[in-house]
Structure 1
Amino acid sequence: MTVHAPLPGKLVQLAEVPDPVFAQGMVGHGAALEPVASEDFVTVVAPVSGRMLKVMPHAFVVQAPSGQGVLVHLGIDTVKLEGDGFTVHVAKGDQVSAGDPLVDMDLTTVRAAGLSACCPVIVLDSAADAITPLTAAEDITAGQDLFAVFQ
C-alpha cells in the first residue's frame, strides 16, 4: 500500500515529532509533515482510498481496503482547540479516494495557541520495518508518494 502526503510541507522523521507517543512509534510508524511556515491555511486530503473509520476535527483514520488504518493527526495537542480552526468535510463511514479533501486546517489558529502544527501520518499498529520511505525530498506536495507499507 502506498500512503500519499495529506498536505504540503517539510518531511519530518517520526523520532523528531514533539510528542513521545508518535516519536516512539507507540501507535504505529510512518512519517510526519510540518506545514509550510508561511501558510495560514491548508486543506488536508485523504492519504489513501478507503472508508473513514474515525473523524475528529484534529485527527482522522482512513481504513484502506487492506484493512490497515492510516491516522493523520493535525498538529500536536490540537485536541485542546476543541475543533476551533478545523472544518471537517467528511463523516465516519464515508468512502473516500486518495486526494479527496477531508479537513481544512487554520494554521494561524493552531500556532496562535502555541501548539505545533506538525502532522504525523501513521499506519496504525505497524512495525518500523514495515514502512519504506518513497521520497528523499525535504519539501513534499499534497498527494506525493510518502511511504509504502508492507505487511
Structure 2
Amino acid sequence: MTLRVLSPVAGTVVPLSEVPDPVFAQAMVGPGLAVDPDRTAGDAVAPVDGTVVTLHPHAFVVATEGGAAVLVHLGIDTVQLKGEGFTLHVVKGEAVRAGQRVVSWDPAAVEAGGKSPVCPVVALDAQAEALVEVRESGPVAAGEPLFTWQR
C-alpha cells in the first residue's frame, strides 16, 4: 500500500531533525517531516483520508483504513496552552478526507506566547526507509504532498 501524506499547513518544509524537541528530532515516535507554518491564522487539515483516532486542540492523529496513522502536532510544547487559541472542527472518531479542515489556529500567536509553531508530521510506527518521495525543503501549501509512505 502506498499512502501520500499531505501537508496539514502552509509554510516551509524543514527536516524533523531541526524540530526543537528531542522526541520529534530523534524520530522517537516515527519518521516524517515538519512544516514551519506561515504566520497567519488559518486551518490545519487532515494529511490523509481516515478516522480521527486522537484529538487534542494542539495535535491529532488520523488513521487510514489500512491501519497507517499520521500524527500532526501544531507547534512544540503547545499542550501547555491548554487549548487556548485552537478551534476544533471535528470530533474523535469522525471520518475525514485528506485536506479537510481539522483545527483552526494562529501560529503567530503561538510564537508570541514563546512557543515554536513548527508542525511535525509523523508516520507513526513506520521505518524511515518506508518514506519515499520526501519533499526536501522549500515552500509548501496546505494539502500538497509531503512524502509517500510505502507500507
Q: Normalized against structure 2, the TM-score is what? A: 0.95
8 Å contact from structure 1 (residues 84, 109) kept in 2: no
Q: Distance in 2 between matches of 1:84 and 1:108?
A: 13
The question of 1:34 aligning with 2:29 is answered no
Q: Percent identity?
A: 48
Q: 4+ residue runs of structure 1 moved beyond 2 angstroms?
A: 133-137
SS at match of 2:108: helix
Task: Identify the residue that residue 23 of structure 1 maps to in structure 2.
Answer: 25
CA RMSD after TM alignment: 1.1
Tell me how far 1:106 sits from its aligned partner: 1.6
> Displacement, 1:135?
3.1
Residue type at the aligned position of 1:106: D
Matched with 1:77 is: 77
Matches of 2:91 and 2:147 in 1, distance apart?
26
Total equivalences in the alignment: 149
Cross-structure match for 1:103: 103
**Alpha-carbon separation, structure 2, partners of 1:137 and 1:83:** 30
* Cα distance in 2, alignment partners of residues 40 and 96 from structure 1: 24
**Match of 1:102, as an amino acid?**
V
Asked if the contact 2:15–2:136 (Cα under 8 Å) also holds between the matched residues in 1, the reply is no
User: CA contact under 8 A between 1:32 and 1:118: conserved in structure 2?
Assistant: yes
Structure 2 residue runs without a partner (length 5+)? none
Q: What secondary structure is seen at the aligned counterpart in 2 of 1:28? A: coil
